[in-house]
Amino acid sequence: MNLNFSNIKTLGELKSAGYQSKSIKQEMRDNLTEALRQKKNLFKGILGFEDTVIPDLQRAVLSKHNILLLGLRGQAKTRIARLMTELLDEYIPVVAGSELNDDPLQPISRFAKDLIELHGDATPIGWLHKSERYVEKLATPDVSIADLIGDADPIKAATLKLPYSDERVIHFGLIPRSHRSIFVINELPDLQARIQVALFNILQEGDIQIRGFKIRLPLDLQFVFTANPEDYTNRGSIITPLKDRIDSQILTHYPRSIETAAKITAQEADLSPEQRKAISVPELCSDLLERIVFTARSSEFVDEKSGVSARLSISAMENLYSSAERRMLLNSEAETTARIVDFWGIIPAITGKIELVYEGEQEGPYNVALRLMGEAIKEKFLSIFPNPNKLKKGNEKDPYGTINAFFSDGNVISILNDDSDKNYREKLKSVPGLEKLVLAHTNPKNENEQLLYMEFVLHALCEFELIAKDFIDKTLLFRDPLADALGDLFNDRDN
């Protein structure tokens, strides 16, 4: 109901305006119904869930259900919960000074009831904005029933000179103080079982019981819980009776396409205006970065149950920009384009956000990160260029022959992490056949993007073992793999 809240300051004025009380779930249902009719998107910024999670969420709200969002880390569960405030009315009336957001027409606290009995229609009311009707609590093992529900407050009892049997000495917990609001408990399995039991009455009957008091508070709440499936085995579990009382369990997931993942990363990456203006990150780089994350999610070295958060790609993109920016500043350049060699700067973002299985631990986080990058490069290369391992001899000319011959003659290309754009260009242009190959299979927008593809080809040919790659300090060396093998052989013989 749209009311001119600025002119309504008393209970009598509220009644005259025709206000009618409504439960929060009915309120959210009504607002969603209107939004669906108007084709309005209330979950802006949530990408990749348009045909899966969002419809399930809408059905749950229309059914007036409490909701459990179940999914691995980095699947936007908390963000979805926070966006549910968009389903609330802009403002609702409350009894002024009420600790429990009392509805003036349906008060539940002793304070509000006494105030209305004393002042009648002159009872002052306030207006609560929807942004103040969202309460979030991270479940941790130390959360107590007093934190969530409440307990007797000895300081209140002493100050007001009241016996402990008087309900005015109660210190209400987070849940009662969230009356008429959305209440979110993140990582629900981390909540101790005995604390989960305390939620039974609230979910089923809509009221709370505080020890030592004969009190019934018919709370009006929209509960949203989040949980990670990994938690069920590693840290705790949602007890069966509680899970039975949560009406809708909605499964979240990671982006299912590279394109969607790239949009999420571009939307979430925290980049300064200076970085966005001076540094160009071509589509090849963003595509490659997302492929690294997708590769990690299916890697034999990474714990699949733990998941690979979308925060990995976001942090990696920020590091990629910073790597290019650092190089640009060191060379006193005004602008630059990201390179494949800049991807070595994202390794800290990878190693810090993946959980390794035993084989991965044996390999080492750094080497696993390099493997993920190599696999992503190889996969992307095969989507653009011919497979070097499947060329039919005699039927067609080897498109990589000129490049291979260059390195077979003993030539070495060294690309420094901090090479200037001029040096970078000269080194790549010195490889015969490289530019021709790139122009034959790609359509770069400018020379910088063309150079990026040229460097990309060298990295990919290393993955197919047509040339060798060594990373020494801050220098990347491309050379003939046979020369490397012979050098190692001679060194072993001399030793």
From the first residue on, what is the mean pLDDT of each consecutive set of 10 residues in the chain (495 residues)? 73 92 96 96 92 96 96 93 95 93 93 93 94 94 85 69 67 89 94 88 76 75 91 68 92 94 95 96 97 95 89 95 96 96 94 91 94 96 92 71 92 93 96 95 95 97 92 87 55 47
**Cα separation, 250 vs 81, whole angstroms:** 12
* Per-residue pLDDT at 483: 62
Contact 280, 338 (CB under 8 A): yes
For residue 307, is it left (φ>0), alpha (ψ between -120 and 50) or beta?
A: left
Structure tokens of 444? 């770069």
What is the model's pLDDT at position 141? 84
Give the residues across from 468 on adjacent strands.
Answer: 479
Q: Which of 46, 69, 45 lies closest to 56 in space, CA to CA? A: 69
Give pLDDT, residue 145.
83
pTM: 0.86
Q: Round to whole Å and give the CA distance between 407 and 470.
A: 14
Chain-centroid distance, C-alpha 219? 32
pLDDT recorded at residue 217 = 81
Q: How many other C-beta atoms are found inside a 10 Å radius of the C-beta of residue 334?
A: 7
What are the tokens at 422? 């001029």
Report CA-CA distances (Å) from 328 to 331, 337, 472: 5, 9, 21
How far apart CA 119 and CA 98 sit, in angstroms, is 14
Give the Cα separation of 32 and 27 in Å (integer): 9
pLDDT on residue 277: 96
pLDDT of residue 166: 66
Q: Residue 179 has what pLDDT?
A: 95
Residue 279 · residue 337 · CB < 8 Å = yes
pLDDT of residue 482: 76
Query: What is the identity of the amino acid at 247?
Result: D
pLDDT of residue 321: 97
User: What is the structure's pLDDT at 208?
Assistant: 73
Nearest to 309 by CA among 255, 376, 270, 263: 255
Say what the pLDDT of residue 229 is.
83
Q: Name residues whose C-beta falls within 8 Å of residue 102's C-beta, 6 or more positions apart in sequence.
A: 94, 95, 108, 109, 111, 112, 179
Backbone angles phi, psi at 62, to 5 degrees: -65, -30
Output helix, strand, coil percentages for the chain, rounded to the nearest 5: 50, 15, 35
Q: What was the pLDDT predicted at 495?
A: 46
